[in-house]
Structure 1
Amino acid sequence: MARGHPAGPTGPAIRRAFDLLDLFTAARPRLTLSQLARHGGVPLSTAHRLVAELVRWGALERDADGSYHIGLRLWELGALAPRGQGLREVALPFLEDLSQISRENVQLAVREGAELVFVERIAGTGAVPVLTRVGGRFALTATGVGLVLLAHAPTEIQDDVLGGRIERYTDHTVTDPARLRRMLADVRTNGFSISDRQVTPDSLSVGAPIHDHLGQVVAAVSLVVRHGTASPHTLAPLVRTSGRAISHALARRR
């Protein structure tokens, strides 16, 4: 999923530097200077100057072969984000409890615009493989956590997501906007979401909301199991209990 766009050869230097950083992805963790210039839409000389500054600051690090990867300085700053590391620290004991009880995949995510970002994932022993990566982005329309976050998103976000292209991952992925709206209404009514084989053909995900002290949904937790091994309505009480426990812990931390 695109997270930005090239700034072109003109424009504020800081914006162009951020655009270069935005070129790094899980599928493309290392880039050469020429690749940064080409994909970033800037002259090679400009890319050289910007990359040199980013290396000096610690946002990028240079490999022995001359390519570049994201530096630890960005990880240090990212750990200060309250919706990321702060939330993770509060939620982690409850996520671990849910993982130990179920021995399945447990996930924690927040909404960032029209996408979700995974904040934490605990993989159960022998659990079904998932596409989750901590720090990775994903569509709001298919996963258990995504459906929860979309159900409680502002109306304009829902309209934007459901009015655009809805990605299909499997034959079971729901892409019809009207049906998705009914699913979102069920999430708000029932207090949990069900994503049945929507992301991978062998997985079932049940998600629940996490509220802040004002009652606003700020995150979502989910349990992902192999399809056919458990009923979603059996899993829902476990996930909802974890969501409520994390919500109470967030309120106490305020």
Structure 2
Amino acid sequence: MNSDRIDRALSVLLNLSQHPDGRTLKHLSEDLGLPMSSAHDLLQAMVEIDAVRTIGPRNYALGTKAIALSLTIVDSISLRNIARQYLAALSSAISENVYLGVRTGDTVSYVDRFEASQVLSVVMQLGSERPLHASSVGKLMAAYNPDLEQKVLSASTLHAYTPFTKTNREELRREYARIREQGFSMSDGESVEGIVGLSTPIWDHTGTAVAAVHVSAPRGRLAEDRRPFVIDQLRQAGNGISTQLGADLQDRGARLSAEA
């Protein structure tokens, strides 16, 4: 690959990083000053190595490899770096694998993980996308980001990953409202049978839910009588990370009380 092609590939990644909801082939072609055919060939090559992914007909977004690379490059100043000490303490406190989930365009992904020493544990692949209607971290981010919620509620079809996946839009609308009211989300066998997931939000200085603290475990280890303790620990970790990001949690609590 010559230097000009590498430069164009980097320009594609920079462009897509500024458009988390994706960019059409036509717009990318115009932005890069390339003929449509050349832009298409370049994008297809990047799709093959997972640096770019398709999210619709001739619509492109950053791929999981590009996201993983960007996280490595900015690790010293990133959310991921700030969150690590809290995730480590959380994993130790609840003796379960814990994750940091973030929004990636119109989906969510896990970008960090701390593993506990359980014999039987749930290990989710970093960079893997999680559904907005069938995972606790996905439902949490959709509940707190109106555009993501609308994507789910207006989708033509919603995939049923298990017999317990919620695919009724009115039921999901109520679920998102309940998440906002209670401040956490749960999935119970909705994406993987027998697995319970719990997630709480991470807020930035603007009051936006930018990420989630998440745990997944077999249902027997996240039974109803243990969930309040685990949720409390998740909240403490999320609040600690939020504070480091400059979130004003007291102001947010006051606004929620006023809205209630």
Give the TM-score taking structure 2 as reference length.
0.68
Moved over 3 A (4+): 3-7, 12-16, 73-78, 127-131
**Counterpart residue number, 1:57:** none
Q: Is the 8 A contact 1:130 1:200 kept in 2?
A: no
The question of 1:19 aligning with 2:10 is answered no
- Counterparts of 1:180 and 1:87 in 2: how far apart (Å)? 29
Partner SS for 1:213: coil
Render the CA deviation track for 1:26-79: whole Å, top value 9, x for unaligned. Answer: 9xxxxxxxxxxxxxx9xxxxxxxxxxxxxxxxxxxxxxxxxxxx7xx9965452
Matches within 5 A, 1:136-175: 136-154=128-146, 156-164=147-155, 165-175=157-167
SS in 2 for 1:200: coil
Matched, 1:189 2:170: no
Count of residue correspondences: 204
What does residue 239 of structure 1 align with?
Answer: 234
**Correspondence for 1:92 among 69, 80, 84:** 84
Partner of 2:73: 80
CA distance in 2, matches of 1:128, 1:141: 26
Q: Which amino acid aligns with 2:102?
A: V
SS state at 1:251 partner: coil
Q: 1:120 to 1:78 in 2, by over 3 A?
A: closer
Counterpart in 1 of 2:62? none
Cα offsets for 1:92-147 (capped at 9, x unmatched): 11001111111212111111222112111223223655462212222111111111
Cα deviation 1:186-238 (Å, max 9, x = unaligned): 11011101111112112111100000012111111111121032323332111
Residue identity over aligned pairs, in percent, reads 28
In the TM superposition, what is the alpha-carbon distance from 1:81 to its structure 2 partner? 5.0
Q: Taking structure 1 as the reference length, what is the TM-score of the superposition?
A: 0.69
Helix, strand or coil: the match of 1:79? Answer: helix
Runs of 5+ in structure 2 lacking a partner? 1-21, 27-34, 52-57, 59-64, 248-260
2:45 counterpart letter in structure 1: L
Q: Which runs of 5+ in 1 are unaligned?
A: 27-40, 42-69
Question: What secondary structure sits across from 1:201 in the alignment?
Answer: coil
State the secondary structure of the residue aligned to 1:215: coil
1:126 maps to 118
Partner of 2:165, secondary structure, is coil
CA distance in 1 between partners of 2:92 and 2:128 (Å): 24
Quickly say closer, same or farther: Cα 1:5–1:244, change in 2 above 3 A. same
Equivalent of 1:248, from 243, 249, 258? 243
- Which has the higher mean CA deviation after the structures are superposed, 123-132 or 107-116? 123-132
Q: Are the structure 2 counterparts of residues 247 and 127 from structure 1 closer, same or farther at C-alpha, using a change threshold of 3 Å?
A: farther
Mapped partners of 1:190, 1:197: distance in 2: 20
